A = this chain, B = another copy of it.
Amino acid sequence: MSSQKFVYLFEEGRADMKRLLGGKGANLAEMTRIGLPVPPGFTITAEACNEYNRLGRQFPEGMMDQVLEALRGLEAKTGKGFGDAANPLLVSVRSGAAVSMPGMMDTVLNLGLNDVTVAGLAALTGDERFALDCYRRFIQMFSNVVLEIEHHAFDSVMERYKRKLGLLFDYEIPAESLRAVLDEYKATVLQHTGREFPQDPQEQLVLAIRAVFDSWNNQRAIVYRKINKIPDDLGTAVNIQAMAFGNMGADSGTGVAFTRNPSTGEHELYGEFLVNAQGEDVVAGIRTPTPISRLKEELPQVYEQFTRTCKILEDHYRDMQDIEFTVERGKLYMLQTRTGKRTAAAAVKIAVDMVEEGIISREEALLRVDAEQINQLLHRQIDPSAKLDVIATGLPASPGAASGKVVFDADEAEKLGNEGEAVVLVRSETTPDDIHGIVKAQGVLTSRGGMTSHAAVVARGMGKPCVSGCEAIKINYAAQEFTVGHLTVKKGEVISIDGSTGAVMLGRVPMIDPVLSPEFETLLRWADEFRRLEVRANADTPEDAAKAREFGAQGIGLCRTEHMFMAQDRLPIVQEMILSDTEEARREALARLLPMQRGDFYGILKAMEGLPCTIRLLDPPLHEFLPGAEELAAELATMKAQGAPASQVKEKEFLLRKVHALHEFNPMLGHRGCRLGITYPEIYRMQARAIFEAVVELKKEGVEVLPEVEIPLVMDVAELALMKQEVLQAYAEVLAESGVEFEFAVGTMIELPRACVVADEIAAEAEFFSFGTNDLTQTTLGFSRDDAEGKFIPVYLEKKLLKDNPFAVLDRKGVGALMKMAVERGRATRPGLLIGICGEHGGEPSSVEFCHQIGLQYVSCSPYRVPVARLAAAQAAIREKTAVPEQVGE
């Protein structure tokens, strides 16, 4: 009668048997298989765990027989005996499922110790205190994870002895006291379980296996599986392995190492080693480990064997490895190997080096680098090794880090900035009036507003760090200070901000400057060979456009014209235009803006010579260009109190009334986008004319330009048709005046659910689509970004109602489904219709992959994200070709 095979010796398994043996077991088997020195052991399969559960917590028939047989094999291989008083075999018992899963029982070491074998261990190590301490720890670990007795019950015993003896550290307790401690430990177990601590090693083993199996169904594990969508019938394997001791003298030791430098990617062994020690000692911080190079000096043969082994593992796994090992009396044992975590810089270098070393292909190299992570390489960063004193955390509104003196006023920021001082501008929120100060500041910190607040948008555009919506800081402009809890920070004090994490710190912190390595350039060049998506940039100025080209942008996917309106010299004219009560007065103000806008477009179109440039006509609600009502009311009150002239008061009152009249309940859904062009066609007409006049100038200079005029916030083809007429009319006028003919396209943003639904009709008029996924996400989910990111998205993430912030990672199921509909319907009307994305998702790797999948022609993102998008686009193309799904989790 043949029983099912529940136990695999390490010699019987392979790396690809993770489903059956778990990740840990499969890797130990793989190392054993390729001849590396692994302490012998075996794995009880995950199927055994499932059987156990199916049978109502009964070991399946034959399983224990197989375990005992494997154990006899271990005894034979090691020459030790399980429970042998003189030369005891001790084993570790570890859980290990196919996917790493916190919440399950983890490890019991030194199983096999008891009142008898402890003496054998003492004799073998020549250190009775150590053997007793091992036994003490074994009882505590076993009692905790197998018998479920709280650590506290044992810790209090130790505390008592240390106090009595006047000692500070556990390892100072002498052997005789440890014996007393052991007695009390055993009494504690008796008291809690009503039974003696199990002395029979085989009983210890049975209980430990049972504990691993049971931990599969504990509450934490169940919840974790539910959240991470891990099937309940995966089960966990159990690894049982002979102990190797690194603390058997000067020719023993323990260490961890990376096969390459995980920080820089340099091809060199990198790690730590501790002579005459066990892994636990390193963790306990009792002794300071030495660099791995010391191993070369102290145990040269072992070092040589280890480097050889590392090379074997790297070649075998075809990636940099993170290795744990132990040396027992001059003999090397490999305890674990896994793919090593690394910095972005190291990831790039290792990937490129490995291609050049012939280990992996270019496709593999491109897939190896986390596209999101390389964003770090383009911004100044806080030194990851620095200890930080974080006083508050806001939203990570614009990446990079900055330090500087606190100032509360844009004028002062400009002044000090011009004098060469590093300053951080701190405001409750910024307005167009503050831009000159932002330009000169190292970074911006605001106490209100979200990721799309004025400060955030402007800072991202400038590539400057910004932390927004940091509600913990309370600003007192009058006192020129801010408080966080009980802490007060005055003007002139230095703070640091990390726009990548939202952290605010007191004082200066160490930073790392971005370095673009040759390997980085190489990797991006390869990316360009594989990707199908084009990558454009969102840029509003010639400087941004130049930056974008430098990073490899193939055009501008979004040039916002409102930022031009906010420039300090334009704003008064823009305000005049807004305050006009007649179309005539409005036209007059617009006429003065025309040459300025023409200059803007001249600059940006010239910078993008030979490449397409999508220019979006005015989008934001007009009240964004006016001061806030609260501010005005305060100014008005002050003027009245100080007896200002009646005419001035009247003017201010008029302004306040206009601000009130333009007030909107939900500006995001208000009078903006093409609705402005529809109510004030003269604004769009002026903008179109400015674009075309700039094109004419450039054509005359022989500069080739490809302008694309974009109408925002369209929900129906009728809107687009009407606005297109205005644009075509402007072209007709400019053509008549200049006699210069040229090509251009007129298209629209797709940023409302209705636009997706009626995309077939819109495509009849639109020569291109560009998805504005920021707004499309807001409307599809009904989430106001400025409110949601501060108020309820954190709760949603915490309660796992959302996997990601939908403003960072495109919501494929909702927003994505509407995009797909729009692509299909748009192209049904106009085959081959040019479709891109210019929302912030255009620079986020998972979103870029989705854009590739639904067949967009390009993504557009901020200049600093262009490299991220290039890599992500290549990865999407390679994954599609090789049918490798996007990696989920680890």
Residues of A within 8 A of B (CB): 449-450, 471, 661, 664-671, 673, 675, 678-679, 713, 715-716, 718-719, 722, 751-754, 757-758, 775, 778-784, 786-788, 791-792, 795-796, 799-802, 811, 813-815, 817-818
For this complex, 9 residue pairs linking A to B, each with C-beta atoms less than 8 Å apart, are A449-B665, A665-B784, A666-B669, A670-B788, A675-B792, A716-B801, A754-B781, A757-B817, A757-B818
Q: Given A678-B801, A679-B795, A713-B782, A758 and B670 touching (CB < 8 A)?
A: no
In the complex, A719→B782 CA distance in Å? 14
Using A670-B784, A675-B792, A782-B715 as known contacts, say yes or no to A814 and B753 having CB atoms under 8 A apart.
Answer: yes
- Which residues on B sit within 8 Å (CB–CB) of A775? 782
Write the nearest CB–CB distance from A771 to chain B, whole angstroms: 14
- Contact across chains for B678 and A796 when beta carbons are under 8 A apart: yes
Minimum Cβ distance to chain B for residue A812 (Å): 11
Could you tell me the distance between the alpha carbons of A778 and B788 in the complex, rounded to whole angstroms?
18
- Chain B's closest residue to A634 (CB) is B633
Partner of A799, one of B661, B722, B752, B784: B722
The CA of A781 and the CA of B666, in the complex, are separated in Å by 13
Q: How far is the CA of A791 from the CA of B665 in the complex (A)?
A: 12
The residue from B670, B753, B786, B795 contacting A780, defined by CB atoms under 8 A apart = B753
Shortest beta-carbon distance from A608 to chain B in Å: 30
Measured between C-beta atoms, what is the minimum distance from A567 to chain B in Å? 24
The answer, among B718, B796, B813, for a CB contact under 8 Å with A757, is: B813
- Known contacts: A678-B799, A782-B713. The answer to whether A792 contacts B671 by CB under 8 A is yes
| Beta-carbon contact of B779 and A782 below 8 Å | yes
What is the oligomeric copy number?
2
Smallest CB-CB A-B distances: 3 pairs: A669-B784, A666-B784, A754-B814
Q: Provided the pairs A722-B799, A801-B719, A814-B757 are in contact, do residues A669 and B782 lie with their beta carbons within 8 angstroms?
A: yes
Contacting pair B670 A791 (CB below 8 A) = yes
Q: Which residues of B contact A753 (CB under 8 A)?
A: 753, 779-780, 782, 814, 818
Chain B residue contacts of A666, Cβ below 8 A: 666-669, 778, 784, 786-787
In the complex, what's the smallest C-beta–C-beta distance from A69 to chain B, in angstroms? 48
Beta-carbon contact of B757 and A787 below 8 Å:
no
Decide: B715 and A814 in contact? CB cutoff 8 A.
Answer: yes
- Distance between Cα atoms of A782 and B757 in the complex (Å): 13
A758 and B814 CA atoms in complex are apart in Å by 7
Nearest Cβ on chain B to A243's Cβ, whole angstroms: 46
Enumerate chain B residues within 8 angstroms of A815, measured Cβ to Cβ: 754
Chain B residues within an 8 Å CB radius of A818: 753, 757
A669 and B752 contact, CB distance less than 8 A? no
In the assembled complex, the Cα of A580 lies from the Cα of B776 at a distance in Å of: 35
Does the CB pair A780–B754 fall under 8 Å?
yes
Min C-beta distance of A753 to chain B, whole Å: 4
Contacts of A817 in B (CB 8 A): 757-758
Taking CB atoms, residues of chain B closer than 8 Å to A450 are 665
CB-nearest residue of chain B to A621: B787
CB atoms of B668 and A669 under 8 A apart: yes
Cα-based distance from A753 to B777 in the complex (angstroms): 10
Q: Choose one: B449, B718, B719, B781; the contact of A752 (CB below 8 Å).
A: B781
Determine the distance from Cα of A811 to Cα of B755 in the docked complex, in whole angstroms: 13
Cα separation A811 to B817 with both chains bound (whole Å): 21
With both chains docked as a complex, state the minimum distance between the C-beta of A738 and any C-beta of chain B, in angstroms: 30
> How far is B673's CA from A547's CA once the two chains are assembled, in angstroms?
44
Establish whether residues B678 and A754, one from each chain, have CB atoms under 8 Å apart when the complex forms: no
Q: Could you tell me if B786 and A665 are in contact, using CB atoms closer than 8 angstroms?
A: yes
A775 CA to B781 CA in the complex, in Å? 12
**A471: B residues at CB distance < 8 A:** 661
- Whether B670 and A667, one on each chain, are in contact in the complex, defined by CB atoms closer than 8 angstroms, is no
Contacts A665-B787, A779-B753, A818-B753 known; A801 to B670 CB distance under 8 Å?
no
Q: In the complex, A722→B775 CA distance in Å?
A: 27
CA distance A29 to B46 in the complex (A): 92
- Smallest Cβ distance from A11 to chain B, in angstroms? 46
Chain B residues whose C-beta falls within 8 Å of the C-beta of A787 in the assembled complex: 664-667, 669-671
CA gap between A449 and B715 in the complex, in Å = 23
Residues on B with C-beta less than 8 A from A778 are 666, 669
CB distance from A800 to the nearest CB of B (A): 8
